[in-house]
Amino acid sequence: MSRGHGHDHGVGEASDRRILATVALNVVLTVAQIVGGVLAGSVALVADALHNLNDAMALVIVWVSRRISRRRPDRERTFGYRRAQVIGALVNLVALAVVALFLGYESILRFFEPRDVGGWTVIVLAGVALVVDVGTVLLLITMRKGNVNVRAAFVHNLADALASVAVLLGGVAIVLWGVNWVDPLLSLGIVAYIFWQVAKMLPETLRVLMEAAPPGLDVEEVAAAIVEVDGVQDVHHVHAWMLDEEHFALEAHVVIARRDVPRMEAIKALVRQKMEAFGIGHSTLEVEFPEAVRGEDHDASLIA
């Protein structure tokens, strides 16, 4: 057991180091883009720079929350710290939405107050940004599965890679045809893509934090499976929720006959085995007897 844990810890530490290296690259790139964007008068380049800075902060949050989530359960956090990564994802998504609002405002303003844009500066810096963004995407693509926090950061950087392509093409259009209005138009396209990704991922993050049932899990189907176990007469107070994206929990009141008390542990083991088929790895079962619940209408409110 300790050997396996050490291996996982080593892999996690290696991933953490790669994340920090990517943060450093994004910070350097952000400074270069902001300076270049101001000198070239390009709102799209500044937009890409701010998005890069947000990406760097997103990766810092990923790094911090990953380390927190590895802590073992304690007396105050009896389920452990897994949700640290979900909270990190929420912070990332909200920050991304705020940045998108700012970029949208600046882009619209440019249509009313157009400025000359240095196309070659835009092209060079957007090209450098694209290389960094693609490298970051490749880093996170293998780490995002089953982790909404890393996936949020992955979306940040994927959007940034697409933004860099758009800014690069915009710089080419400015150099060739002098169409400066392409610059704020591209910024609005980046903003639209960001909002689309936030709208798609935010409900998933809130679902975990609101302790909702795992996606696709039918609580009534779960209850029916419990009742099918030999010795179980009824079930009520069924609650299923997500500890994080990969770990699900359930609690339920299971009714058995008094004559089955000697089999109680075996019945509970069978119920837990049934729950594993639903992906529920942690089940808390309270055993009750028919006379204790007689007269209560549990069928009318399964989860009450």
Q: What is the pLDDT of residues 51-100, one digit of tens each?
A: 677 777 777 877 887 788 778 888 888 778 878 878 887 887 888 888 78
Average pLDDT, the chain: 80
**Separation in Å, CA 254 to CA 211, 225, 279, 283:** 22, 12, 19, 12
Query: Given pLDDT bands bounded at 50, 70 and 90, which one contains residue 10?
Result: very low
pLDDT at residue 144 greater than cutoff 70:
no
The average pLDDT across 298-304 equals 53
pLDDT value at residue 25: 79
Q: What is the DSSP string of 18-63?
A: HHHHHHHHHHHHHHHHHHHHHHHT-HHHHHHHHHHHHHHHHHHHHH
Distance between CA 92 and CA 98 in Å, rounded?
A: 10
Angle in degrees, 0-180, between the axes of helices 43-69 and 84-112, rounded to the nearest 10: 170
Element (H, E) at 281: strand 280-288
Identify the residue with better confidence: 119 or 227: 227
User: Residue 289 above 70 pLDDT?
Assistant: yes
Structure tokens at 223: 């209850």
CA pair distance 215, 207, nearest whole angstrom: 9
Token pair listed for 82: 């897994």
Per-residue confidence (pLDDT) for residue 204, from 0 to 100: 85
> Residue 134 has what pLDDT?
81
Q: What is the mean pLDDT of residues 124-146?
A: 75
Query: Which pLDDT tens digit goes with each residue over 41-52?
Result: 777 677 777 767
Contacts of residue 256, Cβ cutoff 8 Å, sequence gap at least 6: 231, 232, 233, 263, 264, 267, 287, 288, 289
Please, are residues 253 and 247 in contact by the beta-carbon 8 Å criterion? no
With tokens 């440019």, the residue in question is 110
Q: What architecture is domain 2-209? A: Up-down Bundle (1.20)
Instruction: Provide Rg for the chain, Cα atoms.
Output: 26
Predicted local distance difference test score (pLDDT) of residue 304? 57
pLDDT in tens, 146-193: 566 677 667 767 777 777 787 788 878 878 887 777 878 877 887 887
Hey, how many other C-beta atoms are within 10 angstroms of the C-beta on 272? 17
- φ/ψ (deg, to 5) at 77: -120, 75
Instruction: Determine the pLDDT at residue 133.
Output: 77
Domain-wise residue ranges, the chain: 2-209, 219-293
pLDDT at position 224? 94
Lowest average pLDDT, out of 19-28, 32-41, 42-51, 286-295, goes to: 42-51
- Which pLDDT score is estimated for 66? 76
Tokens 């910024």 label which residue? Answer: 187
What's the CATH architecture for 219-293?
2-Layer Sandwich (3.30)
- Would you say 233 and 254 are in contact if contact means Cβ atoms under 8 Å apart? no
Give the model's confidence band at 6: pLDDT under 50 very low, under 70 low, under 90 confident, else very high: very low
